[in-house]
Amino acid sequence: MSTSETLKDYVNRANIRSPKTGILFTDFIKETVKRKQKRMKQSYVSNYRSVVRHLENFQKENNAILYTESINEDFLDDFIVYMESINAKKTYIKYNLILIKGMVRKAGNYGYAVDPSYDDVDIDDEEIPAIYLSPNDIARIYYYQGLTRRQEKIRDLFVIGCYTALRYSDLSSLKKEDFQNGNIVKITKKTGVRVVIPIHDFVKEIYDKYDGDVSPNVSSQQFNRMIKKICRKIGFTEPVYQTFTRGGKVVTETKEKWELISSHTARRSGATNLVNTGRLKVEEIMRVTGHVSEKSFRRYIKTSKEENARMIGGDLFFRK
């Protein structure tokens, strides 16, 4: 190293005894994202870009300047009202609050002035409207005739997803060597957890069909567009009613079922159908799905009220 090169200073900013004055909050977010983007997923960058856009729009509309210590209880209450005014869903507002509060906490750790009242503001959880596919639905997709060769490979990978509950990043990167002694063995990309998943008969047939080369090598966006078209072609056109909060009001939206099907539906269906067997413990299923907490796992389970009634209907409680 030449003497002209500048050494990077990694002095722990959290050890500063007296807090600095605040800095512009959006500048702090941009600086933090720029520093971390080399090792973070693109979604991290895009999510915070969206947060910065909302904060900058809020400042324009309210003739305000936001420093790190400006992010307090009063501001967040006003920010929620602003997000409702642009017709944002409650789940989206809550997610933005989580991101903002995380950045304020980080600013405090770095020694910048913050107002601790920011942590007193929260929004109640609202169940995200989502669907899952029953084993009969999956069989209907698997046995459907009349797809192009490309559509067929997309369909087959989707079916594998329904019987492995793998995230698309792991599903799409399946290789022949991941199929070992009747199981799929995979180190998950998101959490680094090693999962061992028994191979369903459908999955074995698909493996044999392609001699292990099961991935069509398409992006998640391309995959989602194609699986929707495929499911529409198969006939998943029944209406699905979804109720959620948007713009501070409870609304009901109607869509055809195919519109709601994506790669995530496969993972959700796998987890839900494993639970619906009634024979497996949650911790056993989590070893398959790779979830590291039961709370995050429970968010995937989408058993309908009708399905729940069917499962508990045989209990002695409902007999004379």
Q: How far is the CA of 86 from the CAs of 125, 140, 193, in angstroms?
A: 20, 40, 39
Residue 235: left if φ>0, alpha if ψ -120 to 50, beta else—which one? left
Domains of the chain: 13-120 (1.10.150), 135-314 (1.10.443.10)
For the chain, 320 residues long, the average pLDDT of each consecutive 10-residue run is 49 49 89 88 89 95 91 93 94 95 94 91 80 94 96 97 92 94 89 88 96 93 96 95 86 92 92 79 75 68 59 60
- DSSP per position, 163-210: TT---HHHHTT--GGGEETTEEEEE-TTT--EEEEEPPHHHHHHHHHH
- Give the model confidence (pLDDT) of 221-248 as tens digits: 999 999 999 999 999 999 998 888 888 8
Does the predicted TM-score (pTM) go above 0.85?
Answer: no
